[in-house]
Amino acid sequence: MKLKSNTMKKRHIYILLTFLTLSACQSPDDFLDVEPTGYIIPSTLEDYDKMLQDYAIIRGTGSGVGNNTRFMDPDVYHNQASFNTISNSTPSVNAYTWQHDLFDPAVSDNDYNGLYQYIHVMNYILEEVDDAKPGNFDASKRNILKAEAMAQRAFEYFLTVNEYAHHYDSSSLDLPGVAMPLTVDLQAQLSRSSVGEVYQQVLTDLNEALRLLGNNYQAVNSYANFRPGKASIYALLSEVYLYMGDFDQALGYSNTALSLYDYLEDYNTVDFANPSNPWSGYNNGDNWYYGTLNKEILWNRYIAWGFNNPFQLYAPDLEALYDKDNDRRWYLFATQTSSSGVDVSPNYIYMYASSERCNGLSVPRLMLTNAEAKVRTGDGAGAIDVLNTLLENRLVNFTPLTHTDNTTTLQLVKDERRKELAGSALNLYDQKRYHVYGEVVPTYTRTNPITGETFTLAPGDDGYVVKIAQSVRDQNPNLN
């Protein structure tokens, strides 16, 4: 009995770090206005619901979900003024110069830690939820908690495998992926599962989550959009299949998701709260300030808040894609003066002023996935229709696009992904997958503005992948 007690202590110690009692509100200030439960081990459905209600799962800069990849994205640029804001961060400098290994030997990786923290939480819930007592929770909704934990685990693994492994390739499914614990065992020293195995587990979890939720579950969780609804799960399935190069499946799932939820913000109705100071934010209240209130978001994760420090510039190739006179995305998200008054002319700063920049699943991202799947399955005209719906909500004096041929339309879709998803670092993964599809991806070149040293990123290079930190591999040599 004592042996069992010691095992249980090891099993629960990590859960205690994340178990929070959350109040019933929608802004992150309220989600985070919490009181620890002391040393009570979570054991009821009520407890597990509170664990799933942890707003911190969206994370953001410095604590997981894309912090490492932010400066790896080839659409990010630094001159000396902007580089000065990252020059004291070795991982950021290494990311910008496309080093495979970002971290000094003793330094931990917050992205990696954050991802596996929540994988652990979801595994714990999945092990306990079937037999748990309700507490103050409706026991008839037990399967909803189970479905959410499965879906969240799937999302976390999808994020993890794309950051720490080369891209899914159906001709090389045994490429090293990431460790994939599916049970709670803090002593386990797992080796890497293959990329193919991780993707298969993601699909298995998402499909089982849909089955458990049933036909009438909500499309999105409008109260806490970091928790999935059915449209959220269908949207992730479409993105997973897009990354796998299965465009028929990507089309079907994106069609289903859009039929359930397709809210799109009209940027022509958005301006700055204070036009003389764009960094003050936007005039749509808290709608972008708090990602939980952004109605375009299907399943929330965020990469950074504001982008004021450190700041980054638009790469010249990306800047050239914008119709600067008519594109509200350029008007709202580009400036030549930093929040502290640094002029970066002739370059432009990427700005998402006083707001959380989503790099999770959103309606615009879903629409672009749908458009890409359409053109890749031969429906270029349908893809143009999707782009026109998006762009009439993004441009003033908008003239609808017309379809001429699939090659041209596919390039339009790719360009719109870069513009619409700027600041999310998702372009890094797009370039990885285009290369696997056999499409032309350039060799990118960058210069360290301080040293003058030049770096290149060729298609398929290790510079597209974050190497698991030495501090993690020291704890588990099976990850080497």
Sign (positive or negative) of CA dihedral 86, 91, 92, 98: positive
Q: Quote the CA–CA distance of 307 and 73 in Å, as a whole number.
A: 15
pLDDT attached to residue 66: 79
CB 180 within 8 A of CB 157: yes
Beta carbons of 205 and 155 less than 8 angstroms apart: no
Q: What is the pTM of this model?
A: 0.93
Which secondary-structure segment (H or E) carries 305? strand 302-306
pLDDT per residue of the chain (480 residues) written in tens, 0 to 9? 333 344 444 454 445 544 443 333 455 454 444 444 445 789 999 999 999 999 999 987 666 677 899 999 999 999 999 999 999 999 999 999 999 999 999 999 999 999 999 999 999 999 999 999 999 999 999 999 999 999 999 999 999 999 999 999 999 999 999 999 999 988 889 999 999 999 999 999 999 999 999 999 999 999 999 999 999 999 999 999 999 999 999 999 999 999 999 999 999 999 999 999 999 999 998 899 999 999 999 999 999 999 999 999 999 999 999 999 999 999 999 999 999 999 999 999 999 999 999 999 999 999 999 999 999 999 999 999 999 999 999 999 999 999 999 999 999 999 999 999 999 999 999 999 999 999 999 999 999 999 999 999 999 999 999 999 999 999 999 998
pLDDT of residue 60: 75
Using DSSP, state whether 20 is helix, strand or coil.
strand
SS (H, E, C) 132-172: CECCCCCHHHHHHHHHHHHHHHHHHHHHHHHHHCCCCCCCC
Q: Domain 2-83+105-265+361-442+470-479 falls in which CATH fold?
A: 1.25.40
Structure token pair of residue 99: 């080093």
Distance (Å) of CA 88 to CA 91, 93, 462: 9, 8, 24
Q: What is the CA radius of gyration of the chain?
A: 22
Q: Which of 226, 234, 269 is nearest to 254 (CA)?
A: 234
Give the pLDDT of residue 377: 98
Query: How much is the pLDDT for 63?
Result: 61
What token pair was written down for 134?
A: 């309700």
Tokens of 10: 């090891």
- How many distinct helices (H) and strands (E) make up the chain? 17, 12
Residues 6+ apart with CB under 8 A from 80: 449, 450
pLDDT of residue 41: 85
Dihedral over alpha carbons 380, 254, 198, 107 (to 10 degrees) = 90
- Give bridge partners of residue 457 from the DSSP assignment: 444
pLDDT at 452: 95
Domain ranges of the chain: 2-83+105-265+361-442+470-479
